[in-house]
């Protein structure tokens, strides 16, 4: 069972998220909070595996909250949901300790997948967030071209299907679009991605994109 807590200033939105999560027999919403003081108090008294922080927009105070939560509750995986579009704020949120980041235009099914993924120790970013972070990385590729690559070319260890999925994903296709094109399930697509990261010893979706660019699996 995955214990999930939710933080958002609007009670109605929290109740909607809770109602959706209750559809899963593997997820248990343990509490919700609309202010930071209540959040901290309840976190101290409950076991929380995944904490959902829903921000309409992310301020520097919100980033400070992520840092405080990560320091005080290091075993809790933090999942941020927000309409934030500024790449610096998104990056700071992740560097501050968020294991996952979903934009508010994400499908509801991705919320469940994000919870399962970060509970399993992996990072999870929605497609739009991944590409925001990717833009930051692309600007440094040329400058780092003469330096030693961060990743070795181990693509020969990937199956043809895994390379196919990596190419499609790098071209901007969603998990559902990849699944439809290859006639497989969305869960199978996610499983392939996780296996790829394990084979290549990568920790996040962004690292996976970086690897694909550096090794010419994805063309810019």
Which of 137, 144, 146 shows the shortest CA–CA distance to 204? 137
In a domain, 220, yes or no: no
Model pLDDT for residues 21-78, shown as the tens digit of each residue? 988 889 999 999 999 999 999 999 999 999 999 988 788 888 889 988 988 999 999 9
Which domain covers residue 182, as residue numbers? 148-214
Q: What is the pTM of this model?
A: 0.63
Q: Which residues contact 77 (CB under 8 A, 6 or more apart)?
A: 49, 50, 51, 99, 100, 118, 119
For residue 95, give the CATH number of its domain: 3.40.50.2300
Residues listed for the chain: 220
In a domain, 142, yes or no: no
DSSP state of 149: P
Model pLDDT for residues 4-26, shown as the tens digit of each residue? 999 998 888 888 888 899 888 89
d(CA 55, CA 164): 35
Burial environment of residue 126 by CB neighbours within 10 A (0 to 12, 13 to 18, 19 or more): buried
Model pLDDT for residues 124-158, shown as the tens digit of each residue? 887 777 766 666 555 544 444 444 444 344 555 77
Is the domain of 34 the same as that of 70? Answer: yes
Is the pLDDT higher at 5 or at 202?
Answer: 5
d(CA 112, CA 114): 5
Whether the pLDDT of residue 100 is over 80: the answer is yes
Domain boundary among 58, 93, 126: 126
Is the domain of 78 the same as that of 38? Answer: yes
DSSP state of 57: S
Q: Rounded to 5 degrees, what are φ and ψ at 106?
A: -70, 145
pLDDT, residue 53, reads 94
């Amino acid at each position: 069972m995955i214990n999930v807590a939710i933080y958002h200033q609007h009670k109605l939105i929290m109740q909607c998220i809770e109602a959706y999560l209750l559809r899963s027999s593997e997820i248990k919403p343990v509490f919700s909070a609309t202010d930071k003081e209540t959040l901290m108090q309840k976190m101290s008294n409950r076991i929380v595996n995944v904490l959902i922080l829903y921000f309409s927009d992310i301020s520097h105070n919100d980033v400070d909250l992520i840092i405080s939560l990560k320091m005080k509750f290091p075993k809790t995986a933090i999942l941020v949901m927000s309409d934030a579009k500024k790449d610096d704020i998104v990056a700071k949120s992740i560097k501050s300790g968020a294991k996952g980041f979903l934009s508010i235009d994400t499908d509801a099914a991705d919320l469940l997948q994000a919870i399962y993924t970060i509970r399993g120790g992996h990072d999870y970013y929605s497609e739009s967030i991944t590409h925001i972070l990717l833009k930051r990385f692309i600007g440094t590729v040329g400058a780092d071209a003469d330096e030693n690559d961060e990743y070795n070319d181990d693509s020969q260890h990937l199956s043809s299907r895994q390379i196919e999925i990596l190419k499609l994903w790098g071209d901007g296709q969603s998990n559902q679009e990849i699944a439809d094109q290859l006639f497989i399930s969305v869960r199978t697509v996610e499983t392939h991605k996780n296996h790829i990261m394990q084979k290549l010893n990568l920790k996040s979706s962004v690292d996976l994109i970086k690897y694909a660019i550096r090794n010419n699996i994805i063309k810019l």
